[in-house]
Amino acid sequence: MGQIARMRRAAATAVLLTVALTGSLLAGCTSQADRSDARGGRSVRPPQSSTKAPATPTTSAAPAGPLLAVKIDNVSAARPQTGLDQADIVYAEQVEGGLSRLMAVFATRLPPVVGPVRSARESDLELLRQFHDPTLAFSGAQHKLLPLINKAPLTPLPPEKNSGAYFRGGGKVAPHNLFLRPRRLLRSAPGAAALTTGFRFGSAPSGGTPENTRTVRFPSARFTFNWSAQRHRWLVSMDGTPTVTSDGTRVAPATVVVQYVRVRASRFHDVLGNNSPYSESVGSGKAQVLRDGKAFDARWQRSSATGGTRFTTADGAPLNFAKGQVWVVLAKA
């Protein structure tokens, strides 16, 4: 009987060892799937909700990875745009014929699709030098400008360099129908630490003037921002039409900056011979900051292209922005 009991105990021990080993192997397979997904590879995990909130940035001595800047078409034939509401910062600049173009900057999240994507301008290079090795998505540029883009401290990735990231669609006609899949350019969003603009976020300064609406005009374009107390955001309209994305989302930044800059003629022209304006983002000047239903008179200063832009109140104190998306309209001084 003692020998039979010992045989039974040995068999039970073997079964337990087999179960433990099987569990360990299964855990190893799950870990491998997670690593594959982190590298941008195929994952066997169930799909997650696309509405997941951006991760909270963590404090680290390591530099943030590259952020993504996308040049976005802004004529009526290009609207509604896609992914514009997901950008951390949207710059509005003047282009040929007094029209406008947008540059959307993505750091805390990457939407599935952004566009329509259009061409770059010389002033983009100065504006982007405040970021560390940014990735610039654009479609074409004046041929004499392309060498400057390739030499700039950024990673240019137009369709010619990564055709698999771009596609034509959206029910629009060319050239207003080129769209980008951002995750085919960047594996993941680098986080808020990549936004080295000098912007400060926090409580509003004292004072300010109550403001319900503000319109900024270019020669052939205009931007209107209407304050929504219910949403606590500024509702954007462009050229008199409410700005919504292709999925029906109203674009509504928390802060709007009207930055008055020198707009001069550049050395480049479009195919029709129209000069390309150059908006100088290095220097100093006046600004107005709209937040919390108020307008604050401000000064801006950017002493070098590699530095961010500092905004201060009339008495020289740092001027905080409201947390959320920021629109910067580079208006002519």
pLDDT tens string 117-144 = 999 999 999 999 999 999 999 998 888 9
What architecture is the 209-332 domain classified under in CATH? Answer: 3-Layer(bba) Sandwich (3.50)
Cα 5 to Cα 9, 14, 17, 74, 169: the distances in Å are 6, 14, 19, 82, 73
Q: What is the pLDDT of residues 227-284, one digit of tens each?
A: 999 999 999 999 999 999 999 999 999 999 999 999 999 888 877 778 899 999 999 9
Under 8 Å between Cβ of 224 and 241: no
pLDDT at position 65, please?
79
The domain over range 68-194 is classified in CATH as 3.50.90.10 = yes
250/229 Cα distance (integer angstroms): 15
Domain range annotation of the chain: 68-194, 209-332
pLDDT at 187 over 70: yes
pLDDT at position 313, please?
94
pLDDT at position 135, please?
97
Contacts of 176 (CB under 8 A, 6+ apart): 73, 75, 77, 78, 116
47 preceded by cis ω (within 30°)? no
Lowest pLDDT segment from 3-7, 198-202, 267-271: 3-7
Topology agreement, domain 68-194 and domain 209-332: yes
Under 8 Å between Cβ of 72 and 116: yes
pLDDT at 10 over 80: no
58/197 Cα distance (integer angstroms): 18
The pairing of strands 326-332 and 89-94 is: parallel
Beta-carbon-side half-sphere exposure of residue 269 (alpha carbons within 13 Å)? 5
Task: Report the SS3 class of residue 239.
Answer: coil
Q: What is the mean pLDDT of residues 297-301?
A: 97
63/56 Cα distance (integer angstroms): 16
pLDDT at 21 over 70: no
Q: What is the pLDDT of residues 29-85, one digit of tens each?
A: 333 222 222 223 222 222 222 333 333 333 333 456 799 999 999 999 999 999 999
pLDDT at 216 over 50: yes
Residue whose structure tokens are 């941008």:
40
Closest CA to 107 of 187, 191, 49: 191
